[in-house]
Chain A
Amino acid sequence: MNKTLTISPSPHIAQGDSVQKIMYKVIFALSPALIWSFIVFGLPAIFVTATSVLTCLIAEWLIQKFLLRTTPSIKDGSAILTGILLAMNVPGNIPLWIVIIGALVSIGIGKMAFGGLGQNVFNPALTGRVFLLISFPVQMTTWPNVTKTVVDATTEATPLNIIKEGLKNGKPLTELTNQIPDYTDLFFGNLSGSLGEISTILLLLGFGYMLIRKVISWHIPVTVLGTIFVFTGVLWLANPDRFMDPVFHILTGGAMLGAIFMATDMVTSPMTKKGQIIFSIGIGVITVCIRTWGAYPEGISFAILIMNAFTPLINNYIKPKRFGEKQNGKA
């Protein structure tokens, strides 16, 4: 017998999942909502998405090749995913040069500055988005007008904007609710907003797919949305004249997109289920605070980034239950 045998320590088999497969599953899960945004917003949305994805890919490749001098790993799909998520977080009619800046910030500052995939503290797409929101507030909050799947040239405020501005100007809530689309439209995606913020049902479809394929678990999305629902519900019950009802809050803005696709980013969310729940409650609470009392109508991006910053801390203090750990003095 003179065959060479490989000697390596156990285990000798692997489940066969890979980082690449995970990324492509998430992209697949995003596609229904993305395609819907193409239908609603038309060609400009396709340009925005293509620009964002391409910029992310090129930026990652260049940085890995020439700055970090490592083997470029753009095939793992993570840069494509960041590109799509960024695109889904901007208005469909935003100038492309702004998209390029956002993508460069996402990859360059949000990801590579920390050392690449897995090392970053903040969600890269959200880093890009928030940078744009602060730098180009006008363009980032000017939305194409959508009237029952037909886009016209004038711009329209998002439902959250209408409520926020209206309340600030002292209008009664009853008058404002007439100006926003009804909830069936919110659910099926006939409203104005960023590309990926508009169709609740398609985002939920993606969530279902990711649950079945075990890409993510229910903990983060359900807890984030649940927290928003309960918190806004309490406010609404306390004073229905001043606060919108909880259904409105989870159906509008980036709540769904954020809870399902942004907060669940593996790299920037906690490791344990317990940690994930704390993280998610934090996101929910901060989102509602910003929406209700803050300067911006929408707060989930900020909320996720803030909780991203707490993730290392959560990982440090929230440990899984050790086997055989003593509990209440007895084993």
Chain B
Amino acid sequence: MLKTFKYGGVHPAENKLSAGKAIEQLPLPKKAAVLVSQHIGAPSKVVVAKGDTVKVGQVIAQSAGFVSTNIHAPVSGKVLKIDTVTDNSGYKKEAVVINVDGDEWLDEIDRSDTLETSINLDAKEITDKILQSGIVGLGGATFPTHVKLMPPSGMKANILLINGVECEPFLTSDHRLMLEKGEEILMGTQLLMKALKVKKAVIGIERNKPDAIKHLSKLATKHEGISVCPLKVKYPQGGEKQLIKAVTGREVPSGALPISVGAVVNNVGTAFAVYEAVMKNKPLFERIVTVTGKNIEKPSNFRVRIGTPVNELIEAAGGLPEDTARIISGGPMMGKAIPTTDVPVTKGTSGILIISEEAGHRKPVENCIRCGRCVQVCPMGLEPYLLMTLSENKKWGKAETEKVMDCIECGSCSYTCPANRPLLDYIRYGKTSVGQIIRSRK
């Protein structure tokens, strides 16, 4: 029996259209708009001014607190302006806009493909390098990685989990990375192990990626302490708490962080970025983005500089289909519908998914038939139908005791409801309201 997490979960059609497509370098944009808030935590502070010339890899905005990070120039050229641009959620946010001129990198960055395998830094130095290089969780959560490497006092990690699950339908960027940059991912894993001072790391991969499981398992034999754990296919196995449960059997208590059960989770993309940052001196200014959708001409995986407008990715994949209704940044289960194709790629952009007219519209909401399916599929053991009703009626106290804050917003409940009830929409509203109440108590 393959391992998986215990409660709930759904099996959406996988639709991994671009799984067989090797990663291609996307041509540089003419203009890059680099948002200063691409991560969870405080927005970074801009340290360049209009008219400055920047090189690729140069810091353009600095970390503004413990939970924050640096942001680097993804292109070389002149800073055109520091202005607001529309981000994923449709809000205008501060960004550094750079007019691209050539492709001049900082000298210290090693641009060669040679694999570096000797680690000369200690734990503190590795963590520091990760912070300097602006690494954040690349699975989509964008939590600054150095924070995860510095557990609160009294807590200690004893296992590192590398998330190669990629349970979102359509997305294939992690899959491709595992196939093409396996060695680098394992080196990145070693660096993270050293930074955390743990002896054991497990890479979790769902068995719908047998080639990646085989490849990494083979490579892992050369790395002490690292193993690959094949997992049953089930959404949302890539959720931090679900992955920990699946691989180790440990259950992160309600409201607590993974470190409370001694686990730290990082995405394979993050492990790769850590390798590049520490061994190649290359800060995080590009990432792999899957561009996909049923009606897209050429579903692809691109290596993209941060700040590239989304429409350039879509053009490279064959252009926007006529019947497009929605464009999603991320996967279909948890991604965000973006308001325009002008929004720039950020550190958290794992994919661009084009959804067509007929699949894009929500069906009319019907009465709840109390079928219990939402309860059955909730990976957190919640009762979505109840949380929705409580949110509708603003019963915040009861919503809190029914654990609304535990919801990981995986969307399994809304996905599965035969009555098309917008469960998660209401639960999010509930979470926001209850969250405010909890904070005001402190």
Binding site for B on A (CB under 8 A): 1, 3, 5-15, 17-19, 21-22, 73, 76, 116-119, 266-273, 319-326, 331
Contact = CB atoms under 8 A, between A and B. Distances in A.
A266 B411 contact: no
Contact of A331 (B90, B251, B355): B251
B334 A5 contact: no
B324 interface: yes
Contact of B372 (A21, A272, A326): A272
B341 A324 contact: no
Interface of B: 7, 10, 12, 90, 169, 241, 245, 251-256, 260-261, 311, 320, 324-328, 330, 332-342, 353, 355, 359-363, 366-372, 375-376, 378-383, 385, 403, 406, 409, 411-412, 414-420, 422, 424-425, 428
A266 B251 contact: no
A1 B269 CA distance: 31
Interface centre among B332, B340, B371, B403 (most CB of A within 10 A): B371
Contacts of B361: 6
Contacts of A18: 363, 366, 418-420
Given A8-B362, A117-B367, A14 B372 contact: no
B370 A322 contact: no
A12 B335 contact: yes
A198 to B, nearest CB: 29
A19 B320 CA distance: 34
11 contacts: A11-B414, A12-B360, A13-B12, A19-B418, A21-B418, A266-B372, A267-B369, A323-B245, A324-B380, A331-B251, A331-B256
A17 B369 CA distance: 13
Contact of B253 (A6, A268, A326): A326
Given A18-B363, A271-B385, A1 B311 contact: yes
Interface centre among A8, A11, A22, A324 (most CB of B within 10 A): A11
Contacts of B367: 19, 116-119
B7 A5 contact: no
Contact of A12 (B7, B328, B419, B420): B328
A324 B382 CA distance: 11
A79 B192 CA distance: 60
B363 A117 contact: no
Q: Secondary structure of the B side of the interface?
A: loop
Given A322-B381, A324-B252, A14 B363 contact: yes
Contact of B90 (A7, A19, A325): A7
A270 B376 CA distance: 12
A5 B254 CA distance: 37
Contacts of B320: 1, 3
Contacts of B403: 322
Contacts of A272: 372, 375
Given A9-B425, A11-B333, A117 B369 contact: yes
Contacts of A9: 337, 422, 424-425, 428
Contacts of A15: 10, 12, 415-416, 418
A158 to B, nearest CB: 33
A272 B412 CA distance: 16
A117 B412 CA distance: 23
Contacts of A19: 366-367, 369, 418-419
Given A5-B325, A271-B372, A323-B381, A10 B335 contact: yes
Contact of B7 (A117, A269, A270, A320): A320
Given A14-B415, A266-B371, A322 B333 contact: no
Contacts of B382: 320, 322
A272 B415 CA distance: 19
Contacts of B380: 322-324
B296 to A, nearest CB: 15
A257 B361 CA distance: 39
A323 B328 contact: no
Contact of A22 (B369, B376, B378, B424): B369
Nearest to A7: B337
A271 B375 contact: yes
Contact of A13 (B337, B415, B425): B415
A324 B411 contact: no
A276 B223 CA distance: 49
A61 to B, nearest CB: 16
A290 B251 CA distance: 45
A11 B325 contact: no
Nearest to B368: A118
Contacts of B338: 5, 7
A68 to B, nearest CB: 12
A118 B406 contact: no
A9 B416 CA distance: 15
Given A1-B342, A5-B326, A22-B369, A271 B383 contact: yes
B324 A13 contact: no
B324 A3 contact: yes
Contacts of A17: 416, 418
Given A6-B361, A10-B336, A267-B369, A22 B385 contact: no
Nearest to A118: B367
Interface centre among B252, B359, B375 (most CB of A within 10 A): B375
Contacts of B424: 9-11
B372 A6 contact: no
A267 B327 CA distance: 36
Contact of A320 (B252, B340, B375): B375
A313 to B, nearest CB: 14
